[in-house]
Amino acid sequence: MSIDIPTNSLNTPKLLAAIDMGTNSFKMLLIRADPRGRFLTVDRFKEPVVLGRDMISTVNPSANSPPSISIDSQRRAISALQNFSGILHGHHVNKTAIVATSAVREAKNQREFLSRVRDELGFEINVLSGEEEARFVYLGVLQFLPLYDKTILTVDIGGGSTEFVLGKEGKVIFAVSLKLGHVSLTESFVKNGKIVEMQQYIRSVVIKSDLVEKVREIGFDVAVGSSGTIRSIEKAVFLGFGFDRANEGVAFGEFSREWKFSREELIGVVEGLCGLDGEGELERRVGFFKRRAEFILAGGVLLREIFEILDIGEMEVSGYALGEGVVSEMLRKDCEGYDVGVNVRWRSVVRLATRFNGEKRMKLAVQCVGIAKEFFEGLEKCNELTNHQSSSAVCLGEKDLEYLDAAILLHNIGLFFGKKGYHKQSYHIIKNGHHLYGYNAEEVELIALLARYHRKKFPRYGHASLQGLTEEVKLKFRVLCVVMRISLVLCMRFQGLEISLSHEGYKLVITELKGRSLLPDSVQPTLVDIMKELKPELEHFKEVFNQNLSVVILNPHI
């Protein structure tokens, strides 16, 4: 069999960075994006600067006098940005965008602070208006949820403000930023035990704005929450926080876990938070909410009031927000023909992977996607690959790389249910969960089978599980499966590879990771382990391609 991967069929991705200087924390996203607008988060970094803490604690939130960013806050901010700068210099980032939100926007010494950042780090910062911030949040949501054609009410709770935006088909209909944030409310009310006063203050700010009138006038099909506070509340609902029975919120149905919660579930969480008095209960809050524990009560009460005032019965949750919206805007400017409403297929894959994978597993999967892409494109450069099964030709292109990427991102999602037989669970979640949009039944089956057979036995050409596939798809499956299995072994300890073809077969040159692996030390594979795991995969490669594959390891430390 001849397998042809057309030369220059694949586009070189760009590495983009977006830095969000928020009131509570500074965040940086490293995004790998292709010219079509598909992107993957390579890594996330977060610095708990709490820029607005001492700005807000000395100022009544209803006062007209703008606060200042203190010297201590500036020092923390500069330190965080220096850390980000070091990371940026360690990567080949094509473009970086830096935005600042509420705390910098409201500071009376904004110009002095920005000048200091520019002088010490050379960073130019775009201070967003409330409306601009809301628009970027909306764009971020559209990169995560398939709601382009719907009228969406997006709510994003930050440390110093909450953004509301009504949008449809990528266009903002109405946007407003209200000075209601979980840090400001915590400092002004929660720390003084004034929960009832906080509720009254929230209602007063919302009602005095034109938000309620606009929401009633325009209406909305779906309410979406996009901030870390709202994602934490959704997770608490899922894990049963605030309910009498453990795991009350866990309901998978047909291998599904929806990104949403109801008003009643939100009330249950908030009542649970309000009832935390003893030391053990406070430890329980930290266990659920981690670093967000200090501010989660204010965020929960604020969201409950928003639900009541705007008559929200249910809220969907976006894994993307401001940072991804900034990236989307960068792509719109740089990529010819970029459309914020496309790539629904790919976004559904990323959404499913994010839902069932933890942060570390997701980062490792993204790393493996990069290795597999290099392997795939290395085979492309080698041009003609042979297989003894058939003399017919099968052509591999961009869609097949997409199937490979999807399967790698999703291969570990079955671990959500436990380690035993997790590859089979991954198959069932992909196949039966109705999570992937825009893929036909054969494509879903192919992705699910690749996830199923990323470990254990390698299926022969006539294996029963492949009988429902066409001959061409069977051949594609076996090629992609071999590439995937080898890539998953290599990504645990290696970075970068080159592949070449000679009269002796294929030669794969790989480089050891310079930094630490994403795997914990307890499961860190040695070179002996890697070579042992590679041995059967090299046999599978020979079986599929009818060629040997030799491996050479380079040590960057030598």
State percent of the chain over pLDDT 90. Answer: 51
Q: Is 446 contained in some domain?
A: no
Contact predicate 231/157, CB 8 Å: no
Q: What is the pLDDT of residue 393?
A: 52
| 110 part of a folded domain | yes
Rounded Cα distance, 57 and 62, in Å = 12
Based on the domain organization, do 302 and 398 belong to the same domain? no
What's the CATH number where 154 sits?
Answer: 3.30.420.150
Residue 337: what residue type? G
- What average pLDDT does the structure give for the chain? 84
Q: What is the pTM of this model?
A: 0.81
Where does the pLDDT of residue 11 fall: very low under 50, low under 70, confident under 90, or very high at 90 and above? low
Under the banding of pLDDT at 50, 70 and 90, the label for residue 389 is: very low
How are beta strands 222-225 and 152-157 bridged, if at all? Answer: parallel
Q: Convert the pLDDT of each residue in 206-231 to its tens digit.
A: 999 999 999 999 999 999 999 989 99
Strands (DSSP E) found in 200-275: 222-225, 260-262
pLDDT at 132 over 80: yes
CA distances to 327, 353, 409, 431 from 38, in Å: 11, 15, 14, 23
Number of domains, the chain: 3
User: How many whole angstroms separate alpha carbon 245 and alpha carbon 248?
Assistant: 6
Give the structural domain span for 199.
Answer: 131-324
Q: Name the residue among 485, 474, 353 with its Cα closest to residue 406.
A: 353
Q: What letters, b where the CB count within 10 A reaches 16 and e where it falls short, cover 76-96? A: bbbebbeebbeebeeeeeebb
**In whole angstroms, what is the distance from residue 144 CA to residue 262 CA?**
20
pLDDT (average), residues 124-134: 93
What pLDDT sits at residue 246?
A: 41
- Asked whether residue 255 falls in the same domain as residue 366, the answer is no
Domain of residue 42, CATH code? 3.30.420.40
Of the three residues 95, 128, 161, the one that is the final residue of a domain is: 128
- Is pLDDT above 60 for 2? no
Provide the β-strand partners of residue 175. Answer: 165
Residues 285 and 375 in one domain: no
Residues 245 and 302 reside in one and the same domain: yes
3-7, 376-380, 426-430, 544-548: least confident range: 3-7
Both 122 and 137 in one domain: the answer is no
376: CATH: 1.10.3210
Side-by-side strand order, sheet with 222-225: 171-178, 162-168, 152-157, 222-225, 314-317, 260-262
Out of 72-81, 304-313, 396-405, pick the least confident. 396-405
Residues 372 and 468 grouped into a single domain? yes
Q: What is the pLDDT of residues 74-105, one digit of tens each?
A: 999 999 999 999 999 888 898 999 999 988 99
**pLDDT for res 253:** 43
